[in-house]
Amino acid sequence: MRLKNKDLLGLEYLSKEEIELILKTAVPFKELFTRSIKKVPTLRGKTVVLLFYEPSTRTRISFELAAKRLSADTVNISASGSSVEKGESLIDTGKTLEAMKADFVVIRHSMSGASHVLARNINPSVINAGDGSHEHPTQGLLDIFTINEKKGTVKGLKVVIIGDIAHSRVARSNIWGLTKLGAEVVVCGPSTLIPRDIEKTGAKVCYNLDFALKNADVVNVLRIQLERQKTKRLPSLREYNLLFGMTKEKLKLAKPDVIIMHPGPMNRGIEITSNVADGAQSVIDEQVTNGIAVRMAVLYLLAGGKSSPES
Amino acid sequence: MTGEEISKAVEKIAVQIINKNKNIKDLVFIGIVTRGVHLATRIINEIKKLKKLGLPLGMLDITFYRDDVDSIGKQPLAKETKIDFDINDKKVILVDDVLFTGRSIRAALDEIMDFGRPNSVELVVLIDRGHRELPVYAEYVGKTVKTNYSDKVHVHLKEIDKTDRVVLVSKKSSR
């Protein structure tokens, strides 16, 4: 069993078996973190380029640590201070990196589909680290890994995703992955932030938080993307907080062993209160740890059997 | 190799280890997953019978230390590595089922060194089938077998394969 494509662009394009393979592969990588030397020589001599057109802290550092713990070399490129500012196109930048013999290009871009354009045009493995409001597959995978680790399974669980579904690539990757593994996914938020056709992905929609939380096994709270609120889809942050903010009281509506997740960075006091974010049911810090293990698994699996035809 | 021969080989190796090591308390065992771990367990049990002394056992998965990660083909799934004792200044007895090219042992040695600095490392194998590609030497060998490079040696152990036996599968000679 191995991954079919040279790239990881989204969970929509992975089979259930491929997702399970990545989750299984991540387990021994996580075990490495308990050692005093957290580095293994698996990808020695490989080059991973981190091409980030949008700001990012945790995803970029997580990918960089994942690559380094596999002994690969990493190069960082951000939009400002590079030839992107001079107007170089995405494909030309990709071709340049290919000519420099990069083995992996990890890309974050504000345009949905940017990673697909890159993947079609260059030979290195392209990993989507977030493209517009389309997908963020490794975040989806690390969320699913965390749920699986805490609950033992994903199948049959009720997972509620709260917030700005319209702009959220995290939500979309979670929905694709979780529904493939047999979870019930409910999205909840203001109607202005829920796309009309989201049910086609397999998720259910609920506009009332109290109702959505009933019997929930997992609550994934999304960040209100303040930078994307210029179109005035929310009357006010205070109203959002009152109707959809995750508080200790609201949490009581879910199952007693519910776990709380957040992809970060958090707006404390808006979408989540501090006593929930730091409470006993929160697995937010573990998501960050698991993210490195999952990204190591993705790099490892993409490194093997690359571009070989079915034989 | 029959089940009885395997048991005899394990006993022989246990006795050799006891005779060669005066300070048997300084020994720690590390088995290479999967079958090396089961063999190591058997040797430890044998030593326990003879010396009334339990010795620590760790398990080592060498997947991430292999030298052929990007060769075409599927990536093997790594299993658990668990060494929950200090190996610094200990004498490590490394246990594997078959010694062939020596590349697995090279990987295992690299991984062990990342856990600490043992005083020394000695190798136990049930079968030595020759064809070394690296300068690796086993101190304790159950049985030496002459093989062709393309042959396969399958070790079956009760713990996972129901029966105890070793079979040599020769590829039909293509002349």
CB contact under 8 Å between A304 and B73, yes or no, is yes
Calculate how close chain B gets to A159, using CA atoms only, in Å.
29
How much is the pLDDT for A307? 38
pLDDT digits (tens, 9 = 90+) for A36-89: 889 999 999 999 999 999 989 899 999 999 999 999 999 999 887 777 778 889
Distances in whole angstroms, Cα of residue A12 to Cα of each of A9, A15, A18, A141, A169: 8, 8, 11, 12, 12
**Ranges in chain A, pLDDT < 50:** 305-311
Mutate to test the interface with B, among A42, A301, A308, A310 (most CBs of B within 10 A): A42
Q: Give A67's contacts in chain B (Cβ within 8 Å).
A: none
- Single pTM value for the model: 0.89
C-alpha span between A77 and A215 (Å, rounded): 44
**Ranges in chain B, pLDDT < 50:** 174-175
Task: Provide the residue count of chain B.
Answer: 175
CB contact under 8 Å between B75 and A28, yes or no, is no
CB contact under 8 Å between B69 and A35, yes or no, is no
B75 → closest Cβ in A29, A36, A301: A301
Calculate how close chain A gets to B116, using CA atoms only, in Å.
9
How much is the pLDDT for B71? 64
CB contact under 8 Å between B77 and A303, yes or no, is no
Domains in chain B and their CATH numbers? 3-174 (3.40.50.2020)
How much is the pLDDT for A306? 44
How much is the pLDDT for B70? 65
How much is the pLDDT for A232? 78
> Would you list which residues of chain A are within 8 Å, Cβ to Cβ, of chain B?
1-2, 21, 24-25, 28-29, 31-32, 35-37, 39-43, 46, 70, 300-301, 303-306, 308
How much is the pLDDT for B73? 58
Mutate to test the interface with A, among B60, B64, B115 (most CBs of A within 10 A): B64
SS (H, E, C) A241-255: HHHHCECHHHHCCCC
How much is the pLDDT for B75? 72
Calculate how close chain A gets to B13, using CA atoms only, in Å.
31
C-alpha span between A54 and B99 (Å, rounded): 51
B81 → closest Cβ in A21, A31, A46: A31
How much is the pLDDT for B151? 93
Instruction: Tell me the residues of chain B between 87 and 146 that have a Cβ less than 8 Å away from chain A.
Output: 110-111, 114-115
- For residue A133, the tally of other CB atoms under 10 A from its CB is 21
Within B57-147, strands assigned E span 57-60, 91-99, 120-128, 140-144
CB contact under 8 Å between A37 and B114, yes or no, is yes
**φ, ψ for residue A103, nearest 5 deg:** -95, -30
CB contact under 8 Å between A35 and B115, yes or no, is yes
**Is-contact A109 A126, C-beta < 8 A?**
no
Chain B residue nearest residue A37, CA to CA = B114
Give yes or no for B70 touching A (CB within 8 A): yes
CB contact under 8 Å between A28 and B70, yes or no, is no
Chain A residue nearest residue B69, CA to CA = A304
Instruction: Tell me the residues of chain B between 49 and 68 that have a Cβ less than 8 Å away from chain A.
Output: 61, 63-66
Calculate how close chain A gets to B11, using CA atoms only, in Å.
33
How much is the pLDDT for A85? 76
How much is the pLDDT for A118? 97
- For residue A14, the tally of other CB atoms under 10 A from its CB is 23
